[in-house]
Amino acid sequence: MARYTGLEFVGTILSPGKWIHRRVSVWVDSYFYLHDVHEENRALRAELHDLKLEMIPLHKHAQEAIRLRKMMDFSPPAQWTFQGADIIGSQVGPNAVLNSLLINKGAKDGVTPNTPILTPDGVVGRVRQVSPHFSTVLLITDPNSSIPVRGRHSRTNGVLCGQGPRTALLVKHVPQNSPLYESEVLVTSGLAGLFPEGLPVARVDSVDVSDLSLFKNIKAQSMVAIDRLEEVLALHRPPSEPDPNRKISP
Amino acid sequence: MRQNSALRLTLWWFLFTALCIWIHSFISGIDCFGPAVLVLMHLKRYREAIWLTPMWILINEGAGSLAFGSSLLWFAGLILLFLFLCLFLSSSNLLFLFSLSLMAGTLQTGIIALMAALQEITIPFERIVVQGILTALLFPVFWFAMLFAFQRWGRTRHVSV
């Protein structure tokens, strides 16, 4: 009940302010800066945005094509759909203790718990709570976030865990003898079934070998500048794919 | 006349609640509703405190990331602390306010740590402590601001007293 009233009320209160802020920003930008250059910039940025979006599946397909050429039973990736959402707040109130964002898309827009949230640069997090028109998103930087990932080139699997805002992410469970290189991009492995395979998540920052552990000590940086985000994309599962939230009857 | 007053008072509380939500979105982890309930109790405006508290609990619970119950504990704890301190000091005493602020900060830290442990949620301990300190420091500020505001604007005799 609290989700359907409290979160809905908070979202409704915050939305008009954000809308006014955006309108005023657009007005000031349009009139006080070089109008033509600005318009051109906007068009180029939109084009870049679209190209980046197109590149995500292309990158995945290119890597897959090399590996799967020899295999007989190639199966095409499922067609997920994107939906834009505005960020209208972050942590609101004393109980908002997780690193999270508030977005203006909810259950009525098809958003469900665990819906992947990303930008053209990479994964931002996943939906945690949903009300009819708003949702909260658990960020990948939160210590409670764990995402199965693999190196884009090395294909080494690991689990990417958050350590808090403005702190490096940790890649856990990578054995000492597995290859994973600095600057390598980590993509979702799709093993947990929440995220589709091949979405960029983070870039490896440092790889240390520990004498005390069976696993490598790997730090990574998010591909997305989360502090500067204004819009995100919600990724909707194709109807043909099984929903990991579904209840299985005994 | 009475209906107009009720409408005006409802509008006033709606605007106050909206302002508090905006403050919550700017200062992460802070709660304006807790001090507001205690100021209403201090002003002996129990009727408003009774109908506003459940609404504010719902808002805090809905926007929060902990399971239902944290706000309930927070508000119940604050009210108990207020009543407990009233046994020894007058609520208009400065020592009362500073003791209440300190206890509120400790209560906030305790509740979040407890709820996080019960729900197996990892929250860095420094984050919880900082939130408690912030609550204790801002409590007197909110108290005086609300005391001023409630006496000046949020007052309609026909309804509130």
Q: What is the pLDDT of residues B5-46, one digit of tens each?
A: 778 888 889 999 999 999 998 888 899 999 999 999 999 998
The pLDDT, as a whole number, for residue B7 is: 84
CB atoms within 10 A of CB B79: 16
The partner residue sitting opposite B63, judged by closest CB among A10, A144, A164, is: A10
The pLDDT, as a whole number, for residue B151 is: 83
Give the burial string for A59-76 (b: 16+ CB within 10 Å, else e): bbeeebeeeeeeeeeeee
pTM of the predicted structure, to 2 decimals: 0.79
Establish if B137 touches chain A: CB-CB under 8 angstroms: no
Contact A97 B65 (CB under 8 A): yes
The pLDDT, as a whole number, for residue A17 is: 83
For A146-168, write each residue's pLDDT tens digit. Answer: 999 998 888 888 999 999 888 88
Q: What is the dihedral of CA A8, A13, A16, A22, to 10 degrees?
A: -90
Query: 């299985």: which residue's tokens?
Result: A248
DSSP result, B68-100: TTHHHHHHHHHHHHHHHHHTTS-TTSHHHHHHH
Establish if B81 touches chain A: CB-CB under 8 angstroms: no
pLDDT means per 10 residues, chain A with 250 residues, are 78 84 80 75 89 81 62 49 85 88 91 89 91 93 92 89 89 86 88 85 88 86 86 81 57
Let me know: does B12 contact B154? Beta carbons within 8 Å. yes
> How far is C-alpha A100 from the geometric centre of its chain's CA atoms?
12
The pLDDT, as a whole number, for residue A75 is: 40
Which of A1, A5, A10, A138 is the best mutation test for B, with the most CBs of B within 10 A?
A: A10
The pLDDT, as a whole number, for residue B90 is: 87
> How far is C-alpha A198 from the geometric centre of its chain's CA atoms?
12
Query: Helix, strand, coil % (nearest 5) of chain B?
Result: 80, 0, 20
Task: Kindly list the residues from chain A whose CB atom is less than 8 angstroms away from the CB atom of residue B14.
Answer: none
CB pairs under 8 A between A and B: 109
Supply A82's token pair. Answer: 């994107």
Give the burial string for A207-224 (b: 16+ CB within 10 Å, else e): beeeeeeeebebbbebbb
Task: Kindly list the residues from chain B whose CB atom is less than 8 angstroms away from the CB atom of residue A7.
Answer: 62-63
